[in-house]
Amino acid sequence: MILERTYVIDYGGQYTHLIARRCRELGVYAEIVPQEVIFTKGMLVNVKGLILSGGPRTVSESDMSTPFKKNMNVLTKLRIPVLGICFGHQLLAIACGATLESGGNPEYGHTLITRVSDDSMLSGFDKEHNVWMSHSDQVTELPDTMTALAVSGDQRVAAFKSNDGLVYGVQFHPEVTHTPNGMTVLNAFLRDVCRYEETWRSEDQIDDIVERIKEEVGEGRVLMGTSGGVDSTVAAYLIRKAIGDRFFCVFVDNGLLREGEAEEVSVAFDEMGFKNFEAVDASDEFIDGLKDVEDPEEKRRIIAETFIRVFERKAHELTDKHGQFDFLGQGTIYPDRVESAATGIGTAMIKSHHNVRLPDWMQLKLVEPLKDLYKDEVRRVGHKIGIPKHMIWRQPFPGPSFAIRIGGPVTREQLTILREADLILQKGLIEANAYSELWQSFCVLLPIQSVGVMGDERTYEQTCVIRMVDSSDAMTASVSQPDWEVLLRIASRIANQVAGINRVVYDLTSKPPGTIEWY
Ligand code: XMP
End residue of a domain, out of 173, 193, 213: 193
Pairing assessment for the beta strands 247-253 and 222-226 based on DSSP bridges: parallel
111-120, 457-466, 469-478: lowest mean pLDDT where?
469-478
- For residue 320, give the H/E element and its range: helix 296-322
Atom of ligand 1 nearest to the CA of 471: 24
CB atoms within 10 A of CB 463: 18
Residues 268 and 388 in one domain: yes
55-69, 203-217, 258-272: lowest mean pLDDT where?
55-69
Ligand 1 is surrounded, with C-beta below 6 A, by 300, 353-354, 396, 398-400, 440, 474, 511, 515-517
Query: Is the confidence at residue 446, as pLDDT, over 60?
Result: yes
- State which of 516, 518, 519 you would mutate to test the pocket of ligand 1, scoring each by most atoms of that ligand within 8 A of its C-beta: 516
Residues 178 and 218 in one domain: no
| Active-site residue set | 86, 173, 175
Residues 452 and 316 in one domain: no
CA of 517 from ligand 1 middle (Å) equals: 6
CA atoms of 26 and 190, how far apart (whole Å): 9
Residues 212 and 176 in one domain: no
Say what the pTM is.
0.87
In a domain, 406, yes or no: no
Contact indicator for 473, 396 with CB cutoff of 8 Å: no
Pairing assessment for the beta strands 128-135 and 107-115 based on DSSP bridges: antiparallel
CA atoms of 404 and 254, how far apart (whole Å): 13
pLDDT at 347: 34
Atom of ligand 1 nearest to the CA of 439: 24
Query: Is the confidence at residue 349, as pLDDT, over 50?
Result: no
Q: Which residue has the higher pLDDT, 74 or 343?
A: 74
In a domain, 405, yes or no: no
In a domain, 519, yes or no: no
Residues 418 and 324 in one domain: no
Nearest CA to ligand 1 atom 10: 398
Q: What is the mean pLDDT of residues 318-332?
A: 94
pLDDT band with cut points at 50, 70 and 90 for residue 447: very high
Query: Is the confidence at residue 90, as pLDDT, over 80?
Result: yes
Total domains in the chain come to 3
Residues 188 and 207 in one domain: no
pLDDT at 73: 73
Residues 177 and 279 in one domain: no
pLDDT band with cut points at 50, 70 and 90 for residue 68: low
CA of 439 from ligand 1 middle (Å) equals: 12
Nearest CA to ligand 1 atom 14: 398
pLDDT at 342: 38
Residues 251 and 106 in one domain: no
Q: What is the mean pLDDT of residues 162-172?
A: 95
What confidence tens digit (pLDDT) does each residue in 13-62 have?
889 999 999 999 999 999 999 988 888 888 889 999 999 999 887 776 64
Q: What is the mean pLDDT of residues 326-337?
A: 91
Residues 154 and 260 in one domain: no
CA atoms of 10 and 306, how far apart (whole Å): 37
Q: What b/e readout covers 261-289, taking b as 16+ CB neighbours within 10 angstroms?
A: bbebbbebbeebebebbebbebbebbbeb
User: The domain that contains 144 carries what CATH number?
Assistant: 3.40.50.880
pLDDT band with cut points at 50, 70 and 90 for residue 351: very low
End-to-end CA distance of the chain: 42
Atom of ligand 1 nearest to the CA of 399: 15
Q: What is the mean pLDDT of residues 149-165?
A: 93
Residues 183 and 218 in one domain: no
In a domain, 384, yes or no: yes
Nearest CA to ligand 1 atom 3: 515
pLDDT at 356: 55
Report how many helices (DSSP H) and strands (DSSP E) the chain contains, helices first: 14, 20
- For residue 266, give the H/E element and its range: helix 261-271
Q: What is the mean pLDDT of residues 68-96?
A: 85
Residues 332 and 476 in one domain: no
- State which of 356, 475, 517, 519 you would mutate to test the pocket of ligand 1, scoring each by most atoms of that ligand within 8 A of its C-beta: 517
Give the structural domain span for 330: 202-392
What confidence tens digit (pLDDT) does each residue in 207-237 have?
999 999 999 999 999 999 999 999 999 999 9
CA of 503 from ligand 1 middle (Å) equals: 25
Nearest CA to ligand 1 atom 21: 398
Query: Is the confidence at residue 335, as pLDDT, over 90?
Result: no
